[in-house]
Structure 1
Amino acid sequence: MVSFRGASADAMAALTDVVGGVAEASAATVAGDLFSAAAAFRSEAALRRVVTDQSVPAEARTGLVGDLFTGKVDAATLGLLRDAAGRRWTRARDLADALEQLGVVAIVRSVGLQAGTLVDELFGVRQLVTGNSDLRNALSDPVRSAADKGGLVESLLSGKVLPATVQLVKQALSGSYRTVVAALEDYERTAAQVQGESVATVHAARALSADDEQRLASALTRQYGRPVHLNIVIDPQVLGGLRVEIGDDVIDGTVVSRLDDARRKIAG
């Protein structure tokens, strides 16, 4: 997940609070504007340097952003961009990264009570791309235009998932992450984090019952001190038991793991 340090972390926290006040009805528009602004700052190195240069007075930086984006973005977005320009950033590139993350936060705001569905759908698309090499190659093909890739996403997902999910999958094609899968995973975690949740990926040999899912989620919530959103991966190689990945932690209670432990003890 994109992380920020020092002044950039402070700026991101403050701006996230501002996005939290954006009206749900306009949040999707604000998200699109923020994604476009992030792309502009990434592509224009000179602009990025000026807007993040602390030797330039804040009034000049916010004025420049106002001149560039007035009439091109929603009023709420313009306020956010001017606010961002007036803040301190640890690294120049942090500004564009922050605007993209704020766009994801705005997307979550746009779906209201369907935020959990958004997390599930992002995970589902990530699994689809991971498991389909033809699709993965098509979405990462540098020869194909962004419009062509976007059309492919529309044909696959439109009408089957939330419009917000389609918007985020298209954003994942922007090239700001190493891979489309990495972008989707980061967006998924951000979407869960907006709701105050962590994400746990659970590998199981077969689907869990609703009761089993609830017990596991409750146990992880107690262990980590915050609600945990479960993503279940059906993996026949597990044989039995569960493998849970949450952040940097791995809880491996699979049969395969226990057999490996037994082999090591015998060998030792």
Structure 2
Amino acid sequence: MAGVSTESLKKVETALTANTAVSPDHLAQELFAIADVIDNDGSLRRGLVDPARSEEARAGIVKSVLGGKVSEAAVNVVSTAAAARWSHERDLADALETSAVSALAISAEQRGGVEALETVINELLTFVNSVNGSAEAQSALTDDRATDEAKKKLALVLAGNPDSTEGRILVERASSTPRGTTPARLAESFVETIVERQHRSIARVETATPLTEAQIEKLRAGLSKAYGKELKLDITVEPELIGGLRVQVGDEMMDGSVQTRLNELNRSFN
């Protein structure tokens, strides 16, 4: 999101924080469902983002449509979202989906603190890496002939059968309702939302051979110092690199692999 939508998302996040004292996991499920309704109902979506309507009128639509059907907390969050301004129609549902992910992060924190939240992140990353490493899994999860339930069951297996309720909800969501992207990319965005709440970023590391715990800690410390913030390492082993590391943080790629240097040498002879 950009511009006015980014500022609006902050307002929604503030409303979310004020409404997650009780059952944040239930609130997340409601927000996911409401986002789906908005995605599928063009008339409702346009009414909720119509800048010609007053903030009160847009919030009033939410209360008339959702009142008595979902929790008061959900109505409060969605009313705040509807009263805000959005750069694009889709941004409203995107904001509700992001808020649902944040609600699940809050749920994990309330249940088990940082350790529980780290478990959810690792479960999502297991799913992402399993899907990205298997063309068969990618095909199965994007097959229009497969039911949502079948995709959810496969996704849970690919995620290592998550222990956390939050991890299961997010993996099932990514696999069954990718909203125009792929399940793996959506799950990655869920991870980014969660780590951003902790003022962290993801460093995706590819290594030719497995790293020891000491090497991982040294790498984490060095990268965190270089970027001026704590980084969560997502490490995968890629033997074709031959040696060295490939690290991506955001849009920035650092490639010190032997394979890349060989490729560059080959190009120099062409």
| Fold similarity call, TM over 0.5 | yes
Equivalent positions of 1:246-265 (< 5 A) are 246-264=249-267
Does residue 1:195 correspond to 2:198, yes or no?
Answer: yes
Could you tell me which of 11, 14, 19 is aligned with 2:16?
19
**Cα distance, 1:144 vs structure 2:** 2.2
**Cα distance, 1:188 vs structure 2:** 1.5
Separation of aligned partners in 2, 1:135 and 1:61: 41
Compared CA separation, residues 218 and 44, structure 1 to 2 (3 A): same
Separation of aligned partners in 2, 1:244 and 1:182: 18
**Kept in 2: contact 1:204–1:232 (CA 8 A):** yes
Does residue 1:97 correspond to 2:94, yes or no?
Answer: yes
Compared CA separation, residues 210 and 87, structure 1 to 2 (3 A): same
**Kept in 1: contact 2:11–2:81 (CA 8 A):** no
Q: Which residue of 2 aligns with 1:229?
A: 232
Could you tell me which of 3, 6, 31 is aligned with 1:6?
3
Does residue 1:180 correspond to 2:183, yes or no?
Answer: yes
Q: Which residue of 2 aligns with 1:166?
A: 168
Structure 1, unaligned runs of 5 or more? none
Comparing 124-133 with 101-110, greater Cα deviation is found at 124-133
Separation of aligned partners in 1, 2:222 and 2:158: 36
**Kept in 1: contact 2:3–2:87 (CA 8 A):** yes
**Kept in 2: contact 1:205–1:236 (CA 8 A):** yes
Q: Which residue of 2 aligns with 1:144?
A: 146
Compared CA separation, residues 254 and 174, structure 1 to 2 (3 A): same
**Kept in 2: contact 1:202–1:230 (CA 8 A):** yes
**Kept in 1: contact 2:39–2:90 (CA 8 A):** yes
AA aligned opposite 1:94: D
Could you give the per-residue CA deviations for residues 53-78 of structure 1, whole angstroms, max 9, x where no partner exists?
11112222111101111222222111
AA aligned opposite 1:93: R
Structure 2, unaligned runs of 5 or more? none
TM-score, normalised with respect to structure 2: 0.90
**Kept in 2: contact 1:25–1:110 (CA 8 A):** no
**Structure with more relative contact order (C-alpha pairs < 8 Å, separation 6 or more):** 1
Compared CA separation, residues 143 and 51, structure 1 to 2 (3 A): same
**Kept in 1: contact 2:67–2:75 (CA 8 A):** yes
TM-score, normalised with respect to structure 1: 0.91
**Kept in 2: contact 1:18–1:80 (CA 8 A):** yes
**Cα distance, 1:264 vs structure 2:** 4.9
Separation of aligned partners in 1, 2:17 and 2:66: 21
Separation of aligned partners in 2, 1:81 and 1:220: 38
AA aligned opposite 1:140: T
AA aligned opposite 1:122: L
Could you give the per-residue CA deviations for residues 95-122 of structure 1, whole angstroms, max 9, x where no partner exists?
0111111111111111112222211111
Could you tell me which of 22, 26, 35 is aligned with 1:29?
26
- Percent identical pairs in the alignment equals 30
Could you tell me which of 100, 119, 122 is aligned with 1:120?
122
Could you tell me which of 213, 234, 241 is aligned with 2:244?
241
Separation of aligned partners in 2, 1:217 and 1:119: 16
Count of aligned pairs between the two proteins: 264
SS of the aligned residue for 1:142 comes to coil
**Kept in 2: contact 1:116–1:192 (CA 8 A):** no
SS of the aligned residue for 1:124 comes to helix
**Cα distance, 1:201 vs structure 2:** 0.8
AA aligned opposite 2:186: A
**Cα distance, 1:137 vs structure 2:** 2.3
Q: Which residue of 2 aligns with 1:72?
A: 69
Could you give the per-residue CA deviations for residues 204-240 of structure 1, whole angstroms, max 9, x where no partner exists?
1122111211111111111212110001101101111
Compared CA separation, residues 120 and 158, structure 1 to 2 (3 A): closer
**Cα distance, 1:175 vs structure 2:** 3.3
